[in-house]
């Protein structure tokens, strides 16, 4: 796709049964790795966006597996409790870091055409502008009056005229009444808890935030 992100489309014999925002486990050798499903439910396919991580033996294993173009793969799904199956009564803020946009795309694609959906804000934090591999997709969607899209690059780049800084801080600058929103955050545990802590420091109620991280990397303290 762009900047090292691969798009993998798995065809299924029957319509895939899952909720927007869920993930699957992809078997690679004797291991299984989690990947968010990027599309909304309803079709006979599952779309994955897979980015290689530098200096990661696990990522190297996955890349080698994909380079071999296996004719079929073994998956386990649907997994994850951070999903949407009903239209929320309040406006929604989607916050993604890097490939966390994969899960957000599924949630977004499902929610935005639903009758009764309130305003939807998408914030996407990346390291460099080249990481915004779905920029055109969300820009086009943001033509709609009920949708806003804000890409945020973490450090200054000569080629970048948009927002700079941490994605959670951009959300706080723009939206004062966070507690009136349902917030989904997708990214690494550090990013998710960092965002949560920034928000709660100014009176945000954690009950209004959803993330897979709360289940697979619970905070002990
Ligand atoms: C629930 C879940 C979903 C994941 N979905 C994807 C995905 O769609 N695409 C992908 O390239 N990697 C995804 N990952 C990470 C992927 O499983 C690892 O990259 C892979 O196992 C290789 O390990 P690693 O050590 O290189 O990276 P790790 O250190 O395990 O993971 C680092 C990368 O994973 C990304 N990541 C973490 N949580 C998510 C998430 N919920 N959705 C999307 N990205 C996430 C981070 O932004 C970071 O880029 C997901 C991980 C989890 C726990």
Q: Is 105 in the pocket of ligand 1 (CB under 6 A)?
A: no
Closest ligand 1 atom number to CA of residue 97: 47
Q: Residue 35 C-alpha to ligand 1 middle, in angstroms? A: 6
- The pLDDT of residue 112 is 97
Q: Residue 116 C-alpha to ligand 1 middle, in angstroms? A: 32
Q: Is 51 in the pocket of ligand 1 (CB under 6 A)?
A: yes
Q: Is 103 in the pocket of ligand 1 (CB under 6 A)?
A: yes
For the chain, the structural domain boundaries read 5-79, 92-216
Q: Residue 30 C-alpha to ligand 1 middle, in angstroms? A: 18
pLDDT class of 3 with cuts at 50, 70, 90: confident
As a whole number, mean pLDDT of residues 134-147 equals 94
- The pLDDT of residue 221 is 60
As a whole number, mean pLDDT of residues 190-205 equals 97
Q: Give which of 112, 113, 116 is closest to 94, Cα–Cα.
A: 112
Q: Which CATH class is domain 5-79?
A: mainly beta
The 10s digit of each residue's pLDDT in 149-160 is 999 999 888 889
The 10s digit of each residue's pLDDT in 39-92 is 999 999 999 999 999 999 999 999 999 999 999 999 999 999 999 999 999 999
Fold of 92-216: Rossmann fold (3.40.50)
Do residues 60 and 29 make contact, with C-beta atoms less than 8 angstroms apart? no
Which protein residue's CA is at the shortest distance from atom 27 of ligand 1? Answer: 53
- Flag whether the pTM goes above 0.75: yes
Q: Residue 130 C-alpha to ligand 1 middle, in angstroms? A: 19
- The pLDDT of residue 156 is 81
For residue 78, say if its preceding peptide bond is cis, omega within 30 degrees of 0.
yes
145 against 95, higher pLDDT: 95
- Report the distance separating Cα 103 and Cα 38, nearest Å: 6
The 10s digit of each residue's pLDDT in 106-124 is 999 999 999 999 999 999 9
Counting beta carbons within 10 angstroms of the beta carbon of residue 156, is it exposed (0 to 12), middle (13 to 18) or buried (19 or more)?
exposed
In the chain, % of residues over pLDDT 70 = 99
Mean pLDDT in the chain?
95
Q: Is 56 in the pocket of ligand 1 (CB under 6 A)?
A: yes
């Amino acid at each position: 796709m762009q900047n090292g992100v691969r798009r993998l489309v798995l065809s299924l014999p029957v319509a895939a049964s899952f909720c927007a925002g869920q993930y699957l486990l992809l078997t690679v050798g004797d291991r299984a790795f989690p990947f968010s499903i990027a599309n909304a439910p309803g079709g006979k396919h599952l779309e994955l966006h897979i980015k290689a991580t530098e200096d990661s033996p696990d990522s190297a294993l996955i890349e080698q597996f994909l380079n071999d173009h296996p004719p079929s793969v073994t998956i386990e799904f649907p997994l994850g409790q951070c999903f949407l199956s009903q239209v929320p009564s309040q406006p929604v803020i989607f916050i993604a870091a890097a490939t966390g946009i994969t899960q957000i795309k599924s949630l977004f694609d499902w929610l935005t055409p639903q009758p009764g959906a309130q305003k939807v804000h998408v914030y996407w934090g990346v390291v460099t502008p080249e990481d915004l591999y779905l920029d055109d997709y969300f820009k086009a969607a943001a033509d709609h009056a009920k949708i806003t899209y804000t890409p945020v690059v973490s450090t200054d780049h000569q080629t970048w005229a948009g927002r700079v800084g941490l994605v959670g801080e951009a959300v706080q600058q723009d939206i004062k009444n966070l507690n009136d929103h349902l917030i989904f955050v997708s990214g690494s545990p550090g990013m998710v808890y960092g965002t949560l802590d920034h928000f709660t420091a100014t009176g945000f109620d954690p009950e209004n935030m959803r993330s897979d991280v709360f289940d697979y990397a619970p905070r002990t303290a």
